[in-house]
Structure 1
């Protein structure tokens, strides 16, 4: 029932689709009589993928900064509470000794 659909043709490596040979203004030379299939493009531009990657990186950075700020806030609050507890304990001990 659930079978993966295999592509009709072998996938073309990305290096071949992105790299373009230097353009020459010579007539094409046909050395063989066999019919070659043209190189198929990926069908989607590369630029939107770069835009998504940049926005994903920005989102990760923002989340990292927010989480770091929250962690620093918790640490500062813990230090403040511990200092307040020490001061209160010192004041209460001195009041009991009098």
Structure 2
């Protein structure tokens, strides 16, 4: 049963890669990368269960966190063209009224 599940997830990952290549907009491509990361997390979890290695779940959770933070960073970069606070400037103390 788990081998069928892992095969189905692998096929789903291939379909997501097609969406990544053919995506008409940038946001479709970002969504495809995020979906690919989610499928990878699920595949790591299933493979850990198949091999009897429960420590793979820790790796899957870490990868899910990195996937989430990376997606937010990519979307912020494409919206503001900067990751950090590039627009922020400290207040000028000489301009006191």
TM-score by length of structure 2 reads 0.29
Q: Which has the higher contact order (CA 8 A, sep 6+)?
A: 1
Greater fraction helix: 2
Q: Give 1 or 2 for the bigger CA radius of gyration.
A: 1
TM-score by length of structure 1 reads 0.29
